[in-house]
Amino acid sequence: MSPSSGLTGFRADLLRSKREARGWSCEQLALMASVTPGTVRKAEAGPGNPSPRVVGALAAALSVNVAELAPTGDLSLRQLRARRGVTQKIVAAEVGVSTGMVSKVETGKYGVRNPARWAPAYGVSVRDWTKAWNAGRETHRRRIRSQPPRASQEVRE
């Protein structure tokens, strides 16, 4: 798995400490999370990031929130959606918009009137959703600023 395909911000050290605090072996956690012991060992070894599904299963088995294993920090909407393990199509259905609209909102191209309608689809508070949307907007702005200026057409008189 490439690092970009996993859950951003995952902390292997936090997983290990929570498992050890329960007195569980990797095999016991694997059994409780319905994953293989190798998956638990790989997640604890780092440096890659396990998938949102795996982190969700491990968190559930340890009776903690995903955010306790992967603190959010400054994440984009796309990263928040990946944390939740849902597609743009699912978010679109939950919010009642098109997938194209979700894409434009996630990149910061479009804003929304009611963030409270969008935040639950990403599994976060309105404050965290707005923070993530602003991060996407800033990334979009930086991309625009970094593009070379277009050659202007000559004006004919």
Q: Which of 26, 49, 69 finishes a domain?
A: 69
Q: Which of 51, 69, 87 finishes a domain?
A: 69
Maximum distance among all Cα pairs of the chain, rounded to whole angstroms: 83
- DSSP code for 123: T
Residues 142 and 81 in one domain: yes
Neighbours of 76 (CB within 10 A): 21
Considering the domain boundaries, does residue 153 fall inside one?
A: no
What is the residue range of 22's domain? Answer: 3-69
Residue with tokens 């070894």: 45
One pLDDT digit (tens) per residue for the chain, 157 residues: 333 456 777 889 999 999 999 999 999 999 999 999 999 999 999 777 888 889 889 999 999 888 788 876 678 898 888 878 789 999 999 999 999 999 999 988 899 999 999 999 998 889 989 999 988 888 878 888 888 877 665 555 5
Global pTM reads: 0.57
Distance in angstroms (rounded) separating the CA atoms of residues 120 and 91: 9
**Among 51, 56, 52, CA closest to 33:** 56
Residues 13 and 56 in one domain: yes
- Tell me how far CA of residue 2 lies from CA of 56, 83, 142, in angstroms: 18, 16, 25
Distance in angstroms (rounded) separating the CA atoms of residues 79 and 122: 9
CATH number, domain containing residue 141: 1.10.260.40
Distance in angstroms (rounded) separating the CA atoms of residues 154 and 157: 10
Q: How many domains does the chain have?
A: 2
Q: Which of 27, 45, 69 finishes a domain?
A: 69
Q: Taking the mean position of all CA atoms in its chain, how far away is CA 35? A: 21
Q: Are 104 and 137 in contact (CB under 8 A)?
A: no
